[in-house]
Amino acid sequence: ESLVRTFTPFYFLVEPLDVLAVRGTAVIMNCSAQCETAPRIEWRKDGSFLNLVSDDRRQLLPDGSLLINSVVHSKHNKPDEGYYQCVATVDSLGTIVSRTAKLTVAGK
């Protein structure tokens, strides 16, 4: 039996793009990764992982995209504006990180 591991393709189909969002509206940061074992998708904002489990405003869509269903933006509170990366992990293979996408909120 050969011990040579065959190369398993693991790559992004879609990576997030810079987006200009409007306060109070929904925005989707697109991400989708391909592997024979379904990758686990997580999102980082400004370098820190988002905890989407108990988040009523942000959710992970089935394809791996991030939905922010109502962008929050005020003078003193800008939780959504920033730099986002999609992180895909397959335990046996490792982790791939998408390009960085900037979310900017448009002024009224």
What is the set of domains in the chain, with CATH numbers? 11-106 (2.60.40.10)
pLDDT tens figures, 37-78 = 999 999 999 999 999 988 999 999 999 999 999 999 999 999
Neighbours of 107 (CB within 10 A): 7
> At residue 87, what is the residue type?
V
As a dihedral over the C-alpha atoms of residue 61, residue 70, residue 84, residue 20, rounded to 10 degrees, the angle is 120
> Which amino acid is it at 2?
S
Sorting pLDDT into bands at 50, 70 and 90, what band is 3? low
pTM for this predicted structure: 0.91
Minimal CA–CA distance to 19: which of 108, 86, 80? 80
